[in-house]
Amino acid sequence: MLYTGDIGEQARWIIGPGKKGVLDVKTVALIVAAGRGTRVATTSGAAKQYADLAGRPMLSYAIAAFLDHPGICSVKVVIHRDDEAEYAGVAGTFGDRLTPPVFGGATRQESVLRGLEALAGQAVERVLIHDAARPFVTSSIIEGVLRGLDEHDGAIAAVQVADTLKQVNASGIIAATVPRQTLWRAQTPQGFRFEDILGAHSRAAAEGCSEFTDDASIAEWAGLRVVLTEGSNCNDKITTAEDLEMAQRLMAADTARATEVRTGTGFDVHRFGPGNEVWLCGVPIPHDCRLDGHSDADVGLHALTDAILGAIGDGDIGAHFPPSDPEWKGASSDRFLADAARRVAERAGSIVNVDVTLLCELPKIGPHRDAMRKAIAETLQIDVGRVGVKATTTEGLGFTGRREGIAALASASVRLPVID
């Protein structure tokens, strides 16, 4: 019953992406994220629309795509009642053009109706309905649907069927090959005039018609003329665990293209003085002297802090924490390191790996290496596998050889967004 209209005619109406421009009519995107998606298991046990995709929940990509499009005034999401807390985590990162969510129903059709009802009375002229499980929707797909809607009752993103289609009998034997020339796969967004689609959905619900699998089929049933616009194979719905894996690979490749890795180095020296322990890489080590300095004189963390600051081109430890400032007297150096990590996060960056080399005759570093790596990993909030700590003597040569002090070298690699 899906395509009762003249598909041949619809196919001739394919509209490509047009020119961008701010549209005057009030157009809202309604994202449907109320399903349970039982075919994809997420580590947190959450529904698939909250599954991790390159460090962000899947749902956030569709929200961002619509909010970024100049033709969309606001975005509303239909969520499952059980996902309220998960959703709050996603929504918190967007501004108030993402309006409060609405709870969905038992089926997708019911969920869309609830979403449309929640938009009623707000002077919405057009609505684009989109599946949360299509995170790769692009600006040009959205644009295509908006342009199609300029001239038709409805417009939906679609992709021409490329594979040969087989009809099978009950035993799985091919009964026929189905001509595919006029067949298209319906995607979302699907755009309609608001009153039209709300009316069609309400009537379908009132008449107990609940077997529709997308909004266009309800529009067709209600007699609206719906045009196909250019979708994309990337815009396919993420349904299975295999789809999710593929999406994760694709998104990771996207991220790699949009970011670059930068490297910084650091060096520091502190002299020995009277005392009974030294702090090295965040770990106190009993010793027959201490390291002199304004803070706790953790030479390893100082070199590392400078390496991270160097990678993001943001001064050095002395500039941010002047030794002349009494606030830093005796300070624990993990504060300096945490501050450098915060500066990386502030630039939407992430630390790829860090490596510290300590130069000293004593104390022996080996027994403390794992504790040091763990301390650094905790302060930087990265995996311990991304942290290296090494030590070497200088064969009795120079100031470290004479046991007058300890020197440290460090390097840090940081992944940052490419900003032209």
Is residue 373 a contact point for Mg ion (CB under 5 A)? no
Residue 238, helix vs strand vs coil? coil
* Footprint of Mg ion on 301-340 (CB under 5 A): 302
Is residue 201 a contact point for Mg ion (CB under 5 A)? no
CB of 383 to Mg ion, least distance (A): 26
Burial code (b: 16+ CB inside 10 Å, e: under 16) for 264-274 equals: bebebbbebee
- Residue 267 CA neighbour count, 13 Å, CB half: 0
Q: Find the part of the chain contacting Mg ion (CB under 5 A) among 10-18, 27-35, 241-249, 264-272.
A: 264-272
CB of 295 to Mg ion, least distance (A): 7
Q: What is the number of the residue whose Cβ is closest to Mg ion?
A: 302
Please tell me the count of residues contacting Mg ion according to CB under 5 A.
Answer: 2
Which of 197, 181, 191, 183 is closest to 227 using CA atoms?
191
CB of 238 to Mg ion, least distance (A): 49
Q: With respect to Mg ion, which residue has the nearer C-beta, 110 or 277?
A: 277
Residues 112 and 201: beta-carbon distance below 8 Å? yes
DSSP assignment of 287-332, as one string? Answer: -SSEE-SSS---HHHHHHHHHHHHHTT---HHHHS-TT-GGGTT--
CB of 322 to Mg ion, least distance (A): 12
Q: Which helix (H) or strand (E) holds 75?
A: strand 74-79
Is residue 268 a contact point for Mg ion (CB under 5 A)? yes
How many Å apart are CA 327 and CA 316, to the nearest integer? Answer: 17
Residues 388 and 355: beta-carbon distance below 8 Å? yes
CB of 323 to Mg ion, least distance (A): 8
Q: Find the part of the chain contacting Mg ion (CB under 5 A) among 79-87, 170-178, 266-274, 348-356.
A: 266-274
CB of 312 to Mg ion, least distance (A): 19
Residues 309 and 264: beta-carbon distance below 8 Å? yes
How many Å apart are CA 399 and CA 347, to the nearest integer? Answer: 39
Residues 404 and 271: beta-carbon distance below 8 Å? yes
Q: Find the part of the chain contacting Mg ion (CB under 5 A) among 105-113, 172-180, 255-263, 295-303.
A: 295-303
Q: With respect to Mg ion, which residue has the nearer C-beta, 214 or 268?
A: 268
* Footprint of Mg ion on 3-62 (CB under 5 A): none
Q: With respect to Mg ion, which residue has the nearer C-beta, 101 or 293?
A: 293
CB of 331 to Mg ion, least distance (A): 11
Binding site for Mg ion (CB under 5 A): 268, 302
